[in-house]
Amino acid sequence: MSELVFPEWRGTPLDEILYACRELVEDPTFPTVKRWREAGGKVCGHFQVYFPEEIAHAAGMLPVKLRGVPVDPTHADSHFGSYLCSILKSSLEVVLSGELQLDMFVSHPICDAARNLAAIWGRNFDYPCQILYLPQNANSSHSVAYLADEYNRLRRTVEEVTGAEVSEAAIQRSVAVFNENRRLLRELYEIKRTTPWLVAAEDAYSLVSVGAMIPREEHNELLRAVLPQLTERDAKQQDRIRVVFEGGFCEQPPLDMIRMLGRTCYLVDDDLLIGLRWIVEDVPTDGDPVANLAHAYVHRSSYSPVQHDDRKLKEEMLLKRMKRCHADAAIITAAKMCEPGLEEQVAYTNALDEQKIPYFVSEFEENMTSFDHLELQVETFMENLLFA
Amino acid sequence: MKTVEKENGLVGRGNRDGAQLFRDWFSSLSEAADEGRRAAYVFVMGSLNEILMCFDLPVVFPEINSLQTAVRRVAHEYLDEAEDYGYSPDICGYVKADVALQLRGGAHPMGNIPKPKIAVATNACNTYIKWAEIWQRMYDVPVFVMDVPGSREAGDSTQRGERDFENDRRYVEAQLKELIAICEKVTGRKFDVDRLREVLGYTNEMNVGWKRVLELNKARPAPFNALTDGTIYLGVANGFRGTKIGGRYFTELVEEMEYKVEHHIGSLTEEEYRLIFVGVPCYPIFRRFNELFTDWQGTFINSTYLWFASGGANRGFEYDINRPIESLAEGVLISVRDAMDSMFYQEKALGGMIDDYHVDGIIYHPIKSCRTVSTGLADSRRYMAEKYDIPSLFVESDMMDRRVISEAQMKNRIDAFFEGLDSRRRRSGVH
C-alpha cells in the first residue's frame, strides 16, 4: 500500500503534529482505516491486550487494535447484559455501526468478559472471528512450542483471508519494522521517565495510540520525526510528583483524563496500551520468525493483570517499574467492571502499603466526560505529598 | 406392591445419597482441617482430580464452598467482609466469599475448610487464575495453571489426529507431566501410574453415567429437574470424581432414572412446560427461583450449568487406561473445551435439543458475578430467537449477592413469560 493513511502531520510544526495525533485518537470514525480500505487494503481487527501484529502485517493487512472508543453503544447495547465494562460494548458498536469495517477479528481470553467476544462477533459477521489462545501457563516448558503452533494456525487464517502465502521472509521483514517501532516507543518512554516536562502526558499517549490505527511504517516515520523535536524543546522542569499510572492495560481512560492527570503530576511511566509495548526487546530477525515471536511473548515481555507468570508477580513488577523511573507515588486505577483490574488493585495497594509508598486509587470509564471531582481528589493527593 | 417397594428404595435415591455424600465430604474436609492437613484447591471446570487423587490430597472446591454460603443465606456476611478488606462490589462473589472464608481461618457453615497445599486452576475461567493468585499471596503455595486451549471459533472443535488438535494435546500432556512433578514435590510421594489407571476407571464410570442421566431427561415427563436435582448430582460429580463411590453413584443414578422413565415418574406431577436453563443458578433464593417456574408446571429438563460446571463430563469421555497420561490429556482437552463451548458457543447444542427434548422455552439467567458465563447470553438469545424461533426469557440476578436480586421483579417477568407461552400454544392449537 503506497498511499499514506495519516498524512495530516507531515510538513507541520511539532505542536500541530501532536494536535493531529490527539485528533486522530479521539476520532470515532477511524479515518485512517477507511483510507486503507478505500485503497484496497484488508484489515485485521484484534482486541486488547497483545496480538502478534507482525503476522497480519506480513500478509499485507492493516492490524487495528480494538481498544474501545468513547461512543454510546446504540447498536451494541442489546447484544450485552448489565455489569460489563464499556470497552466491550464500544468496540462492537463501531463495527455494528459500520464505522470500522474488518476482514477478520481476533480476540484473546484475557478476561472472562472479553473471551466471549469472538463468539459474539461470529454470530453477527461472516468473516473469520477467532480466539487466539495465548498461553496462560507461561511457566510450562512447552508454552513457547505451543504458541508457535498457535501463531502458525493464525498465519493460515490470515493466508485464507488475504489469499496470499505468508512467507518466513515476509514475517522476518515485518519483525524488523516492528522492532524499530518498539525501539522508538522505548525512546519515547525514556523521555517520559527522564525528562517528563518535555512531553505532555496526553501527547505521549496519543503518539503511542495512533500506532494502533496506521501502518507501522508510517508510525515509525512519525516517531522518527517527533522524538528529536521533543528532546530539543525548551521546557522547564517543574516541582511535581513523579507518578506511575497502573490500570490502563485494556480499556483506556479518556484523553481528557490523561490530560488532567498530566496537569497535576508527571506521569513518568504507565501500562497504557501495554500490548503495543508488550515485547521489551528486539525480536531476532534471523531463524524461524514465528518461533522467535512466540519466545519473545513468553520470555521477553512486560506484565499485566491478565497474564499469570510465576516470574512476574504483578505487585513486584509494579514496584520494579516505580523504582526504575524514580516514582514518588502510584495511581492505581481500574476500568469500571473490569474484574482483573479491580482484583489486582488489592494486591497492588497491599504491596504499596507494605513499602510505605503513597498511592491514589480510582476507577474510570472510557466515556467519562466530567473530571472535576476526580481532579480535586488527585490535586489534594498531590499537594499532600508536595507539602508533606 | 413390589413396585411400591422398589419406588421406596429407588425413587429419590440419587437426591438422598447425593445429599449424604455431600455432607460426608464436608465432614472429611473438616477432619483434615482439624488435623492440620492441607488440601488441593481446585475448580469445577477441570479439577484434575484424576491426578490429585493419586496423591491422596483432600480436594477443596472453593466455588462450592462459596455457593453453599449463599444457599445457607449467609453469603452477605462473607461478601461484606471481603469488601471491607478491599475487594470491589463488582467482582465475582465466589471469590469474595472465599477471601472472607480464608480471613476467618476456614470457618464455613458446613464445617472447617483446610488450608491449601497446592492450587490448580484451569483457564476455563480467567477468574480462577486471579483467585489462585490470592492464595499464592496468602499462603505462598504453588499455583499451577492448567492451560487448555478452547475452540477457536463456532463449530471449530478439532478432532483427534488433526494437526491443531495434536498441537493442543501435546501442550496439555506436557503440563500434566509438570503437574505430576509438582505434586510429587509438595507431597513427597512418588506418582503411581497404576493408581491413575484405577482413578481413570472410576471417572469413566461417572462420565458414562452422567451422559446417560442427561439423555434420560428427553422422556416426558422428565425424571429429574435439571436445576434442583441436577445440582445435587453435580456436587457428587465434582467432589467424588475419580472415586469408587462417585462412579457407583452415577451407575445407580442411571438405574433410578431409567426406572422413573419406564414408569412415567416425573419431577412434576403435571408437566406442562419443558425448559432449558442457561447460566448459573440463583443460589441466594435457590428453591424459590425454581418454584417461580414449577408454579406454572414448568420444569427444567436440561441446563448448560450441568455441562460446564461438571467440567464437560456430560460429553461422557472415556479414558483409555492402557495409555493413561496421553488419554488423560485428550480427555482434559476435549472435556474442558466442551465446558468452554457450553458457555461461549452453546447455540448449536441448544438448537439440537429443541426437538429431541421437546423444549418449550429457554431461560437465560446471566449473573453479575460471572462474566464468563453471562457476557454472551444476550447476543446468543437474539441468535436463537432468529434461527430457531424459540421463546426465551432473559432474567438477570446473581449467584451470591442478594443485593442485586429482586424477587418481585423476577416473578413479574416469569409470569409474563408463561402467559406468553400459553398464548402461543393456544394460537398454534397445541394443548
pLDDT at A3: 87
The alpha-carbon gap from B127 to the nearest alpha carbon of chain A, in Å, equals: 7
Q: What secondary structure letter does DSSP report for A301?
A: B
Q: Which residues of B touch A139 (CB under 8 A)?
A: 145
Residue B312 CA to residue B217 CA, distance in Å, equals 18
- Distance to chain B for A119, nearest Cα, Å: 6
DSSP one-letter code for A284: P
Cβ contact B371–A113 (<8 Å)? yes
Other beta carbons within 10 Å of B333:
25
Note the pLDDT of residue A2.
65
What does DSSP say about strands B361-365 and B107-108: parallel, antiparallel, or unpaired? unpaired
Q: Is A343 on the interface with B (CB under 8 A)?
A: yes
How does pLDDT run across A206-222, given as a tens digit for each residue?
999 999 999 999 999 99
Please check whether residue B112 is in contact with residue B33, taking contact to mean a CB–CB distance below 8 angstroms: yes
Burial class (CB in 10 A: 0-12, 13-18, 19+), B105: exposed
Helix axes A117-124, B377-388, angle to 10 degrees: 30
Question: Using a CB-CB distance cutoff of 8 angstroms, which residues of chain A are in contact with residue B345?
Answer: 119
Q: Count the residues in chain B.
A: 431
pLDDT more than 90, % of chain A: 98
Task: Note the pLDDT of residue B1.
Answer: 44
At B310, list the grid cell: 461438571
Q: Which residue of A has its CA nearest to B380?
A: A120
**Mean pLDDT (10-residue bins), chain B, 431 residues:** 64 96 96 97 97 96 97 97 97 98 97 98 98 98 98 90 97 98 98 98 98 98 98 97 97 98 93 98 97 98 98 97 98 97 96 96 97 97 97 97 96 98 87 55
3-class DSSP assignment, residue B367: strand
Residue carrying the nine cell digits 469474595: B96
Strand order from edge to edge, sheet including A62-66: A62-66, A43-47, A104-107, A129-131
d(CA A43, CA A57): 10
* Per-residue pLDDT, A1: 61
Helix (H, G, I), strand (E, B) or coil at A161: helix
pTM of the model: 0.96
Every domain of chain B and the residues it spans: 2-428
pLDDT tens per residue across span A177-190? 999 999 999 999 99
Contact at 8 Å (CB) between B44 and B66? no
Contact B86 A122 (CB under 8 A): no
Contacts of B375 in chain A (CB under 8 A): 80-81, 84, 88, 112-113, 116, 120
Nearest to A109 among B88, B123, B396 (CB): B123
Q: Distance (Å) from the C-alpha of residue A338 to the closest C-alpha of chain B? A: 8
Check B374 against A336: CB less than 8 A apart.
Answer: no
Stretch (H or E) spanning B84 = helix B75-85
B contacts of A123 (beta carbons < 8 Å): 154, 347, 379-380, 382-383
Using a CB-CB cut-off of 8 Å, the residues of chain A touching B145 are 136-137, 139, 308
A-to-B residue pairs, Cβ atoms closer than 8 angstroms: 169
DSSP A330-370: EEEEEETT-HHHHHHHHHHHHHHHHTT--EEEEEE-TT---
> Mean pLDDT throughout A280-284?
98
Question: Residue A209 belongs to what H/E stretch?
Answer: helix A201-209
- Chain B CB contacts of A334 under 8 Å are 88
DSSP summary character for residue A265: S
User: How is residue A238 annotated by DSSP?
Assistant: -
The pLDDT score that the predictor gives to residue B67 is 97
Our CA-based measurement puts residue B49 at a distance from the nearest CA of chain A, in whole angstroms, of: 19
Q: What are phi and psi of A277, to 5 degrees?
A: -120, 20
* Contact (CB, 8 A) for A123 and B347: yes
Beta bridge partners of A266: A242
Grid cell of A190 as nine digits: 525514556
The dihedral sign for the CA sequence A146, A149, A153, A155: positive
Average pLDDT of chain A, as a whole number: 97
| Partner-chain contact B90 A136, CB within 8 Å | no
Q: What is the pLDDT of residues A219-257, one digit of tens each?
A: 999 999 999 999 999 999 999 999 999 999 999 999 999
Q: Which helix (H) or strand (E) holds B132?
A: helix B126-139
Q: b or e along B27-39 (b: 16 or more beta carbons within 10 Å of the residue's beta carbon)? A: eebbebbeeeebb
Which cell numbers hold the place of A369?
466526560
Query: Dihedral, CA atoms, A81, A82, A87, A93, nearest 10 degrees?
Result: 40
DSSP assignment letter at A110: S
What's the CA gap between B309 and B421, in Å, rounded?
Answer: 29
* ipTM of this complex: 0.96
Mean pLDDT of A56-76: 96
Measured in angstroms, the CA of B395 and the nearest CA of chain A are apart by 10
> How high is the pLDDT of residue B429?
76
Q: Return the residue matching grid coordinates 457407583.
A: B248
Q: State the DSSP code for A323.
A: H
Please name the member of B152, B170, B371 whose beta carbon is closest to the beta carbon of A84. B371
Give the pLDDT confidence score for residue B5 in this predicted structure: 52
Cα diameter, chain A: 63
